[in-house]
Structure 1
Amino acid sequence: MTQAPPGRYLTREATTPADITRAQMLRARCFQTGATRDTDAFDAKARHFLVEDRASGALVCCFRLTLFRAATLAQSYAAQFYDLNNLTRINGALLELGRFCVDPDWQDPDIQRLAWGQLAREVDRNGAALLFGCSSFTGTDPTAYRDAFAQLKQKHLAPTQWRPAMKADWTFAYARETHTADLRRARQQTPPLLRSYLAMGGWVSDHAVIDRQMDTLHVFTGLEIAAIPPNRARLLRALA
């Protein structure tokens, strides 16, 4: 279904193979995979969403969503890297957000706001209890993000009952570090998608995975829908 809020952009679900190919090409640009298209086995089971410029039709943002229950959570993208057994105790649907990216040539904050509006719509439509995914930092050197990781440790670690355990071969256990965060640098080092999660009460794993294939560090990120501040929830639903 196409959503057409007032303004420069519209959001819609991909409806054709050509739509998905466009998204995969944008992903390849954003994640710098060196390929023309970024594809994986998880695309087939996901629903894909696009944010486009109304005037030109240019694709400026894309992401995919996949619905899971406790019994199927091990089939998620994130479960390749994190032990998610604790999350199987959550009652309700679990919605995985993946491959979220914004064209680097388009720096308009309205793009991400509209994408979150579409996410809010899908969360409500599916009755999701948890929105989750992997939030990526560019590159594989943890020292480039010391302040961001220190701030995550101090304020945003997942509750113990939900916290993912280590599974990947290459990890950085930043919660064991003793560095004190500089708040300004921490914000600068934190990716925009992760900042959005955290602003709504999201939380993260106590370690980062070093993903050499994608040339990223990423942290598991969860957002309990019931814990989103009411004012923020109303704003998102208004965008939807």
Structure 2
Amino acid sequence: MTHDVFQGARQPAKQKLAGQALLQRFSPSSLLAAGKQLGGFAFPGADALSGTLGRSGALEVRLARGPREIWRAQRLRYRVFYQEMSAKPDVVSRMFRRDADRFDAVCDHLLVIDHAARGRFGGIKPKVVGTYRLMREQAVARLGGFYTQSEFDIAPLLARHPEMRFLELGRSCVLKPYRTKKTVELLWHGIWAYCRHHRIDAMFGCASLDGTDPDMLALPLSFIHHHATAQGDWRVVAQPDRHVAMDRLPAGMIDAKLALKCLPPLVKGYLRLGARFGAGAVVDKQFGTTDVLVILPVSAIDRRYIEYLDGDAGRYAA
């Protein structure tokens, strides 16, 4: 890569044009243009969700208000997924240090912002420290489906519930020093406010277990299979060509307490809310994970958590 950069000094026109094209392609202005073309980027503006959705001390949760803030969320995702974890960036992602895909242009991006963060020279410089990508069904019509459909066959689920409004949750990450209960609560206050506003009936999305060897994840995968698989109208199966069996251990061999300790905090949080999971897992070699599908009808959320999210709203109000 370094050699190619210096070669560019001897071929300035070609390299310069290529570099300019890449910069233009991934600039905030191009991101906005792509969103408009796809019918996305309905930035809140005068919408009821345009303001603060929650605040705790210096931390605020709200939706991104433009392409530059989405850029910041993508930079955070790159830092967590590629620099801290084991995801493998392509050339463009490595060059721009951003985790970005075609779905970003039609999504809302939930942000946690630390307004007390310090910049390089010691001054106050608000920083995006957490994010969630929120994709509504109407927003992805022109893309031909949800991101999740590359791993799980969710078409039958959507067909069985034509009257329901679905929301895909994805690309969630929090900067390491901020992985606390307070930050997670703020994110969920934001998600819940979003669900209430858009009258969402059900949420779904991929959740990841670190590692690409299912046998090394036999205990948590088997626990999910035996105790938390969605049934009936909510059943979803991994895509046939990517399906990895989750029933790797018999039910009688599973130590539930140990299995719960092995589950990532995000998956345990979904379980507490009342979520169920798809049948079969999917190995994502690019991100170095084994993915399971979370399915969470709003009607299934434990009443205690709904009361907490509703009743505690005042504490998180701006």
Structure 1 gaps, min length 5:
none
1:15 aligns with one of 65, 80, 89: 65
Distance of 1:161 and 1:74 partners within structure 2: 23
Mapped pair 1:140 → 2:140: no
Q: For residue 225 of structure 1, what is the amino acid of its counterpart?
A: V
- SS of the aligned residue for 2:254 comes to coil
Q: With the length of structure 2 as denominator, give the TM-score of the two structures.
A: 0.70
Distance of 2:79 and 2:185 partners within structure 1: 21
Mapped pair 1:190 → 2:260: no
- SS of the aligned residue for 1:172 comes to coil
Structure 2 gaps, min length 5:
1-50, 118-125
Distance of 1:95 and 1:174 partners within structure 2: 25
1:86 aligns with one of 139, 146, 156: 156
- Give the strand-richer structure, 1 or 2: 1
1:228 aligns with one of 291, 301, 307: 301
How many matched pairs?
239
2:132 aligns with one of 56, 63, 75: 63
1:25 aligns with one of 75, 79, 91: 75
Mapped pair 1:200 → 2:273: yes
Q: Which residue of 1 aligns with 2:168?
A: 96
The structure 1 segments of at least 4 consecutive aligned residues displaced by more than 3 Å after TM superposition are: 71-74
Q: For residue 163 of structure 1, what is the amino acid of its counterpart?
A: R
Q: Deviation of residue 169 (structure 1)?
A: 2.7
Residues 1:82 and 1:216: Cα distance change in structure 2 (over 3 Å):
same
Distance of 1:185 and 1:21 partners within structure 2: 39
- Give the helix-richer structure, 1 or 2: 2
Mapped pair 1:155 → 2:260: no
Q: Deviation of residue 135 (structure 1)?
A: 0.4
Residues 1:230 and 1:4: Cα distance change in structure 2 (over 3 Å):
closer
Matched-pair contact (CA < 8 Å) for 1:170–1:211: no
- SS of the aligned residue for 1:64 comes to strand
Mapped pair 1:218 → 2:291: yes
Distance of 1:12 and 1:220 partners within structure 2: 26
Q: Which residue of 2 aligns with 1:37?
A: 98
Q: With the length of structure 1 as denominator, give the TM-score of the two structures.
A: 0.91
Q: Deviation of residue 136 (structure 1)?
A: 0.8
- SS of the aligned residue for 1:174 comes to coil
Residues 1:107 and 1:169: Cα distance change in structure 2 (over 3 Å):
same
Q: Which moved more, 1:138-147 or 1:120-129?
A: 138-147
Q: Which residue of 1 aligns with 2:243?
A: 171
Matched-pair contact (CA < 8 Å) for 1:173–1:208: yes
Q: For residue 63 of structure 2, what is the amino acid of its counterpart?
A: E
- SS of the aligned residue for 2:202 comes to strand
Q: Deviation of residue 168 (structure 1)?
A: 5.3
Q: For residue 129 of structure 1, what is the amino acid of its counterpart?
A: D
Residues 1:59 and 1:202: Cα distance change in structure 2 (over 3 Å):
same
Q: Deviation of residue 206 (structure 1)?
A: 1.6
Residues 1:3 and 1:161: Cα distance change in structure 2 (over 3 Å):
closer
- Percent identical pairs in the alignment equals 31
Query: Could you say what the CA RMSD is over the residues aligned between the two structures, in angstroms?
Result: 2.0
Larger C-alpha radius of gyration, 1 or 2?
2
